[in-house]
Chain A
Amino acid sequence: MARAFEVRRQRGFVTVAILCFIALYAPMVTLVAYSFNAGSSLALWEGFSLRWYGAAWENEAVQEATIRSVVVAVSASVLATAIATMAALGTTRVPHYRGLTAVYALINQPLMVPEIVTGVALLVVFAIVKEATGYHGLFYLIAAHTAFCIPFAYLPIRARLQGMDSRLEAAAADLYASPWAAFRHVTLPLMFPGIIAGAMLAFVISLDDVVITEFVKSAGQDTLPTYMLGQLRRVVTPEINAISTVLLAISVAIVSIFFLVTRKRT
């Protein structure tokens, strides 16, 4: 082999990874392309036009649904990640204690029940609360989303923590760092990639949820997915593509800025 020997290299891995990235973005290309469709179809090109951007701009319902989706996803992923981080610290790298398996099962429980079942269960319980308190706000959605996001945030963080060298923290403690300082300056930075991964998963999962949201939402609380689901039977227009493209552009911009800023610092 002509190339210098690189320990990290595994044959074919780079190729597979690049192919995966291409495959991930291939549907994005059609999605963006059809947002400029002159026709009202998601799969039949009828020429270039900006009409769906205009339609989306005019359509308050779809804008509100989009904002609501983002608000719920941000709130739920932040809450779920915080809760999951604590739980991961409480259940990983510890000698077995009574109840550990039960806690583990409880944390993963939302994964194991089809959404429709959680939806029906929450419908019944929340209806009682709504009638008793008269509060119809967004908290129900955030609470439900946070709950099913917890395992998605928890598992990457746990995977990160497992086998993480606890001698580092022990060393910090030996140097008279308070447990808080040891956590803040040693454990947390080490956990960070896991926390980022968990938060991203939670965000994505919340953004996509449709069935539970459908059962939990109160009047006037459609999110983008439930709005889409309602369209499914009748007619789905590229309006959602236009919205998605705008969201995509905004997220790419945020990521780029974030990336440039952090890069400058390092």
Chain B
Amino acid sequence: MPEAAEPAPEAPAAPRVDAEEMARRAVRRRWLLNLPAILWLILFAAGPLLVVLLYSFLAAGDYGGVRWELSTDGWFAVLMTRDIFDDTLRLQDAHLAIFWRSVKLSVMTTLACLLLGFPTAYFIATRSRANRNLWLFLITIPFWTNLLIRTFAMLEWIRAQGVINSVLTGLGIVDEPVQMLYTDFSIMLGMTYVYFPLMVLPLYASMEKLDFRLVEAAYDLYASRLQVLRGVIVPLVSPGIVAGSILVFIPSLGAYVTPRVLGGGKQMMLGNLIELQFGQGRNWPLGAALSISLLALVMVALIFYVRAAQKGGEGHG
């Protein structure tokens, strides 16, 4: 509970402590507040990852796992490969292709979530105070059912003999059923569905406090609705946009179940490639090296993105 760790109250009427001491105390309080998160994550997330880092520098065990010998084969195989037929050294284009597809689909999913999620969050944030939580629950309830079942239920709508195609052919809009299933479109549709609340909830959290007097002021200055949206609302809710985009983009990169079920599994995404190495491929060092590369890339991109977004946000605020 947050209350429990609230630091000891500073005596309000105490004589003014010098500014430096105050600042030091403030920083100490920050660290106290961060401590549970730091400890928990080091113990149960980041710490264990050191194992993976270590594994990436070992040799692959014959039947999965690792052999305790130093080796850089895993790292080498991330980008380079020896052709299995003519033994020439070349760039591992399969990995690059899979990486590119993952980035492309993740960007598209994030955009789709943003385009659909923004109006939805706005809609919820502009309901009466009593109704907002209800709408919020309505967003999350579909996600309380199992992911696989939900994905199967979607299959029923978009497959060749499914509901949408029956309606389309029934109304004579198309003659032949449209092949939606097992395409990039169906993967994107599925991921947009799955990650939708990850966009809406942070957006809502920052929109809910939107001060509509600012909007009113903008209208008084003869701004159009679009100008208000772009010039006033979007900058004010940019923290929510940043948070939502991170929450959608990064997990989509490693998505595994949705591409497999709705994409038909014919083309791998990064998550599937890494899974292959830890599973049937029995090349844990390569799997480990691939994930550390992914982690490093995302981490760098994230830090740049947040810094840039913060600067942008401050400029407006």
A and B touch in the complex (CB under 8 A): yes
Which A residues fall within an 8 A CB radius of B? Answer: 5, 7-14, 16-18, 20-21, 23-28, 30-31, 34, 42-43, 82-87, 89-91, 94, 97, 101, 103-118, 120-122, 124-125, 143-144, 146-148, 150-152, 154-160, 162-164, 173, 176-180, 183-184, 188, 190, 193-194, 196-198, 200-201, 203-204, 207-208, 210-211, 224-225, 228-229, 232, 236, 240-241, 244, 247-248, 251-252, 255, 258-259, 262-263, 266
A244 to chain B, nearest CB (A): 4
A42 to chain B, nearest CB (A): 5
Q: Contact between A201 and B38 (Cβ–Cβ < 8 Å)? A: no
Name the B residues within 8 Å of A30 (CB-CB): 153, 156-157, 163
Q: Contact between B41 and A147 (Cβ–Cβ < 8 Å)? A: yes
Task: Say whether chain B's binding surface is mostly helix, strand, loop, or mixed.
Answer: helix
Which one, A117, A190, A194, contacts B274 given CB within 8 A? Answer: A117
Give residues of chain B (278-315) contacting chain A, Cβ–Cβ below 8 Å: 278, 284, 287-288, 291, 294-295, 298-299, 302-303, 306, 313
Residue of A nearest to B208 (CB): A193
Q: Contact between A116 and B146 (Cβ–Cβ < 8 Å)? A: no
Name the A residues within 8 Å of B89 (CB-CB): none
Which B residues fall within an 8 A CB radius of A? Answer: 1-3, 5-7, 9-10, 12-13, 26-27, 29-34, 36-38, 40-49, 51-52, 116-117, 119-120, 122-124, 126, 129-130, 132-134, 136-150, 152-157, 159, 163, 193, 196-198, 201-206, 208-209, 212, 215-216, 219, 225, 229, 233, 236, 239-240, 242-244, 246-247, 250-251, 254, 256-257, 270-271, 274-275, 278, 284, 287-288, 291, 294-295, 298-299, 302-303, 306, 313, 317
A147–B45 alpha-carbon span in the complex (Å): 6
Q: Contact between B239 and A163 (Cβ–Cβ < 8 Å)? A: yes
Which one, B3, B143, B193, B295, contacts A184 given CB within 8 A? Answer: B3
A160–B126 alpha-carbon span in the complex (Å): 16
Residue among B2, B30, B49, B147 with max Cβ neighbours from chain A (10 Å): B2
B221 to chain A, nearest CB (A): 13
Name the A residues within 8 Å of B284 (CB-CB): 120
A215 to chain B, nearest CB (A): 10
Q: Contact between A117 and B9 (Cβ–Cβ < 8 Å)? A: no
Residue of A nearest to B296 (CB): A112
Q: Contact between B34 and A86 (Cβ–Cβ < 8 Å)? A: yes
B271 to chain A, nearest CB (A): 5
A259 to chain B, nearest CB (A): 5
With A105-B299, A155-B246, A262-B133 already in contact, the answer to whether A247 and B144 are too (CB < 8 A) is yes
Q: Contact between B149 and A241 (Cβ–Cβ < 8 Å)? A: yes
Q: Contact between B140 and A204 (Cβ–Cβ < 8 Å)? A: yes
Name the B residues within 8 Å of A156 (CB-CB): 201-202, 204-205, 240, 243
Name the B residues within 8 Å of A7 (CB-CB): 212, 215-216, 219
Name the A residues within 8 Å of B197 (CB-CB): 200-201, 204
Q: Contact between B156 and A106 (Cβ–Cβ < 8 Å)? A: no
A198–B294 alpha-carbon span in the complex (Å): 25
A24–B7 alpha-carbon span in the complex (Å): 43
